[in-house]
Amino acid sequence: MKELIKFIAQELVDFPDQVSVEEIEGNQTSVIELKVAKEDLGKVIGKQGRTARAMRTLLSAASAKIKKRSVLEIIE
């Protein structure tokens, strides 16, 4: 899941080298924290949050296949 979010974020932003993704594992749920450059924050969130919502939808679909729950947090 971590690699999926990192790949999507790096393709969206102007500074792909500043993208960092950390995964915090739990028993049933894992939290994925995405950090990008301040200038790229708007690109990752998108208009009215559409890009972030699409990333969360892809993440939940991929994590459902492995019977786990994943939550995406975008860190400023």
Q: In this predicted model, what pLDDT tens digit does every residue of 42-59 receive, in sequence order?
A: 999 999 999 999 999 999
- Please report where in the chains the tokens 């594992």 appear, as a residue: 25
38: domain CATH number? 3.30.300.20
* Choice between 66 and 11, residue whose per-residue pLDDT is larger: 11
Contact 22, 33 (CB under 8 A): yes
Structure tokens at 46: 């998108």
Helix (H, G, I), strand (E, B) or coil at 45: helix
Spatial separation of the C-alpha atoms in residues 44 and 8, rounded to whole Å: 9
At residue 27, does pLDDT exceed 90? Answer: no
If one counts the domains in the chain, the total is: 1
Amino acid letter, residue 44: V
pLDDT, residue 66, reads: 87
Spatial separation of the C-alpha atoms in residues 6 and 53, rounded to whole Å: 15
At residue 32, does pLDDT exceed 90? Answer: yes
pTM: 0.88
Q: Beta partners for 7?
A: none
Amino acid letter, residue 57: T
